[in-house]
């Protein structure tokens, strides 16, 4: 079941994101960062297992731009449509807020392409670069994420 994240979910979200980061699937996030942005997160909660098996966040970058970030689905639950549901929920929330340009910096280009995101040069997202990229240890010379965008 999809639901908005709660404060009690933060440590689990932190663990899952950093587990994924350890595999090279995304960049790590600090616990403080997740507490500060908990309202951005959606979780997929497996009611049978009574645990969170997927997470995703939708972050507002600017007046006309949102970012899908920190998408993770437990290995045992992949290829079951959970990632798609998480991203579609975030897109729906962005549309409700009248944000019609939604992007992701990702290592999973094929996944986002199946959701109709198109690859773009990172330089077309200056708001993201000014907001976050400058603080990243991979910026500017070692960034290996692919910028993908959907315009609705």
Mean per-residue pLDDT for 58-72? 93
Of the listed ranges 24-38, 85-99, 100-114, 115-129, the least confidently predicted one is 115-129
pLDDT digits (tens, 9 = 90+) for 120-146: 987 787 555 544 544 555 555 555 678
Residue 135: per-residue pLDDT? 54
Residue 42: per-residue pLDDT? 98
Strands 118-120, 146-151: parallel, antiparallel or unpaired by DSSP?
Answer: antiparallel
Residue 59: per-residue pLDDT? 93
Residues 6+ positions from 147 with CB-CB distance below 8 Å:
103, 104, 105, 119, 120, 121, 122, 124, 125
Residue ranges per structural domain of the chain:
2-151
Q: Is the dihedral of CA 70, 73, 79, 85 positive or negative?
A: negative
In this structure, what token pair is assigned to residue 16?
């899952």
Question: Could you give the percent of the chain with pLDDT greater than 90?
Answer: 72
Report residue 30: phi and psi, to 5°. Answer: -80, 160
Q: How confident is the model at residue 20 (pLDDT cuts 50, 70, 90)?
A: very high
Mean per-residue pLDDT for 86-96? 97
Task: Reply yes or no on whether the pLDDT at 73 is more than 80.
Answer: yes
Can you tell me which residue has the tokens 């699937």?
A: 25
Higher-scoring residue by pLDDT: 152, 132: 152
The whole-angstrom separation of Cα 42 and Cα 4 is 5
Topology of the domain comprising 2-151: Aminopeptidase (3.40.630)
């Amino acid at each position: 079941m999809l639901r908005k994240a709660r404060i009690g979910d933060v440590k689990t979200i932190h663990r899952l994101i950093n587990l994924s980061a350890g595999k090279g699937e995304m960049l790590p996030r600090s616990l403080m960062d997740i507490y500060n942005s908990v309202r951005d997160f959606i979780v997929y909660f497996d009611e049978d297992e009574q645990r969170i098996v997927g997470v995703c966040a939708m972050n507002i970058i600017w007046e006309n731009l949102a970012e899908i970030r920190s998408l993770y689905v437990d290995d045992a639950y992949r290829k079951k449509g959970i990632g798609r549901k998480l991203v579609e929920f975030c897109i729906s929330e962005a549309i409700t807020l009248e944000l019609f340009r939604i992007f992701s910096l990702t290592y999973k280009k094929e996944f986002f392409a199946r959701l109709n995101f198109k690859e773009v040069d990172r330089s077309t997202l200056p708001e993201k670069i000014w907001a976050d990229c400058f603080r990243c240890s991979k910026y500017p010379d070692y960034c290996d994420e692919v910028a993908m965008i959907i315009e609705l």
